[in-house]
Each structure stands twice: as C-alpha cells, then as structure tokens.
Amino acid sequence: MTRRLVILTEIISPYRIPLFNALAQLGVVDLHVIFLAETDPKLRQWTVPKNEIRFSYEVLPSFRLRLGISNLLVNQGLDGRLRRVRPDVILCGGYNYLSFWQAAFWAKRRNIPVLLWTESNAADDRGGSRVVEGLKRIFLGLCRGFVVPGAASKSYLLQLGVSEALIFTAPDAVDNPLFMQGAQRARTNRAEVRRRIGVPERYFLNVGRLVRAKGVLDLIEAYGRLDEEIRAAIGLVFVGDGVARKRLLELASVIRPGTVKFSGFVQKEQLAEYYALADALVFPTHSDPWGLVVNEAMACSLPVIASSVAGCVSDLIEDGLNGIIVPVRDVEGLCSSMEFLAKRDDLRAQMGERSLQRILAYSPEACAAGIAKAASVACK
C-alpha cells in the first residue's frame, strides 16, 4: 500500500530537488512537499530551478522577521493544506520554525505519525541554551521516528535518549553526476576554463559563505603561514560571499608572495569548474551539521582537508586516505596539512580517486531510500 508522505521543509533548495525527485520516482510513497518559503534571499543567492521539479509541491504564504541572529518565519494556511492533502505520515525538516510545531500537534491530534529530519550533532554551535534544549526534547517526544544524514547526527540522538530502532539514515547527497561530468569537461579544457573563471594555475579551494563560523579567517591565516615557495606556486580561491569578505580582503592584501582570489557566489551548475582545477578543498568550519560542499568536491575527485566538527567527516573522510581531518580552529594544523598535500602530486591524485569512489554511495537515491523506509516503518 502506498502511503501519502508530506515533507514540510523551509525553502526550495536546489540541492534537495534531486532527492525529492528520486523519492517521488521510487513509487514507495505518494510524495507531497510543502515549502515554508520559496527562498531566503538574505542568506541564499542561488536561483530556484523550478523547471527541474518532478514532484508534487506547494509553497505556503509567509513573511520573515529577523531580530539579531534570530530568524522568525511565519506561515499562513498550514492546517487547511494538511487537511486537503490528508497525509499518512509527516516528515518535518527541523523544529526551529512555528510551522513544524503546528504540523506536529495537528498530526498528534489525529494520530498521524510524525518524523523528524535532523542534521544536528553534538558539535553544532547553534544550540546550547536551556530553553532551546527543553523545546528540542519536547519536539522529540512528538515524533515516532527520526531521519539523519549520518553517524554524527545518529550519535547525538542516541545521547538524547532516542531509541536506535527509531533512527533511519538517509545520507546527505548532491547530484553526483552533475559534478562528475562538469569536472570531467573542465579538465579536458583546463587552459580555457582557467582563463574564463580567472583562477591560478594551482590553488586550494574554499566554497561557502564567507563568515567567521565557516573558519575562513583561520584558512587565510594558515595560507599566509605557508612557506613562501609554496605560496608563490599555489594560490587560495574563495567561492562564496558574506560579511567576512572585507576582513579577508584586508588580510589577503599583506600576503606576499601569494595569490588570493575572491570569485563571489557561483551557481551550482558552474561550481564543478572550480573544483576540477583545484588541488584540494579546504573546509575549516567551526560548526556545520553536514557540509554538502564536501560531497561536491569528492564527486569532482578532490582530496578534502576538513575540521573535525563538520557533521560529514565521520562518514565521508578517512584521515590519510581521501583527506585530512584537522582539529577545529587549529591554524597550524591547517597550514601543515596544506603544505603536506601541496608537495605530493601522486598522493593528491590517489586521494581524489578514493573520494570519488566513496561518494558514489551518497546519492539522492540512497537518501530517498532511507526516507522511504522511515515512512514505511512509522505507518505500521
């Protein structure tokens, strides 16, 4: 029997569309996705590729209110939408918005199972207050199952007292073929691509928002500490934008020799070109529930230097095999890891190949299968 699964999630993320398409095509669930908003233009510069959507969905009327670091998203009409769709099971993509709570209580009154899709882990800096932790435990009590991307999130739920039998893994994934094929095309036209995107002959790459929490200031300091010979031969490229850009530009201006390039925000369709020509991705985040840029880099056959607190590390990075794991905020560790890889062409190639082979198992189809299993079990 096919069950009607309603997924309630924040915005139409280009990275989730391949997953939802795969889930709809499985035929195991009758999928309908309710988005709380189309996008968040204050934080996300990506275009919304609605032409790629192959699943049933709708976007709720909404407005946002930002108070300092708080982001309040208020929706209208959720109860009516849920009554019309008549879900057999609801998957909430978090507990940080009022609509998630509204859906959970709506379902509880009707004895409809609720699942929580969470990427939170013990190293996540975003939690911590007693009020937040108390609300989190209340929400967990409303759920009959939990969907996590990997080991770090599963371990965190176990610490909170959730039964292992209620936790289902749906690995976070990107459109691997998109990045694999894009990287292959870029490497067959290296000189032309390099001229067009304006990157050095060799470089370390960072992709993401330019904010302190992503460790970008640690990274530029580590680059500045590299031996002059290495800096003269290998640049540093930042792809992304954010409030730390001004400070990064100031720090970059005094690094001599060396080349620091700021490419700005790049849509996902062009990202593979930057990955393809890089020596390695450096992901020195201070706190990240997962880190999809690591998936992207691995699909482009890159080794990865990542901080130990990134949620994806325990699943994706084998230290010394396809990357290097560095303690968080360890500038000297970043520097020595970059220097180590810079001098070993053969090792970088071997690590990149291992990255590619490993990431193949982290596909939208694998993620869809995990979600479908959680929905099926919750409905029994």
Residue with tokens 């198992």: 361
Whether the per-residue pLDDT at 97 is higher than 80: the answer is: yes
* Among 51-60, 71-80, 158-167, the least confident range: 71-80
167-169 β-sheet, strand order: 56-59, 29-35, 3-9, 89-92, 114-117, 145-148, 167-169
Mean pLDDT of 1-15: 94
pLDDT over threshold 90, residue 14: yes
Stretch among 7-21, 113-127, 173-187 having the lowest mean pLDDT: 113-127
Residues in the chain: 380
pLDDT one-digit tens code per residue, 212-234: 999 999 999 999 999 999 999 99
Question: Has residue 360 got a pLDDT over 60?
Answer: yes
Is 70 exceeded by the pLDDT of residue 125? no
Model confidence band, residue 273 (pLDDT cutoffs 50, 70, 90): very high
pLDDT given at position 69: 60
The rounded distance, in Å, linking the Cα atoms of 78 and 305 is 43
Q: Residue 127 has what pLDDT? A: 54
Give the model's pLDDT for residue 90: 98
| CA 80 to each of CA 62, 85, 108, 154: distance values in angstroms, whole numbers, following the listed order | 15, 9, 16, 33
* Alpha carbon distance, N-terminus to C-terminus of the chain: 11
C-alpha radius of gyration, the chain, whole number:
21
Q: Cβ contacts of residue 174 below 8 Å, gap of 6+?
A: 15, 18, 292, 295, 296, 299, 364
Domains along the chain with CATH numbers: 3-173+363-378 (3.40.50.2000), 176-359 (3.40.50.2000)
Tell me the two tokens of residue 270: 């062009």
Whether residue 68 has pLDDT greater than 90: no
- 208 in Cβ contact with 268 (< 8 Å): no
Angle between helices 345-359 and 292-299 (to 10 degrees): 110
- Pairing, β 62-67 against β 56-59: unpaired
pLDDT tens readout for residues 240-255: 999 999 999 999 999 9
Please tell me the predicted confidence (pLDDT) of residue 112.
98
Tell me the average pLDDT of the chain. 95
Task: Tell me what percent of the residues of the chain surpass a pLDDT of 90.
Answer: 88
**Does the pLDDT value for residue 161 go beyond 70?**
yes
In the sheet that holds 260-264, the strands lie side by side as 260-264, 235-239, 203-207, 280-283, 304-307, 323-326
Asked if residue 45 has pLDDT above 80, the reply is: no
> Mean per-residue pLDDT for 91-115?
96
For residue 208, the 8-state DSSP code is S
Mean pLDDT, rounded, for 325-341: 98
Under 8 Å between Cβ of 275 and 296:
yes
Q: What is the mean pLDDT of residues 93-113?
A: 96
Instruction: Give pLDDT, residue 312.
Output: 98
The band of 130, judged by pLDDT with boundaries at 50, 70 and 90, is confident
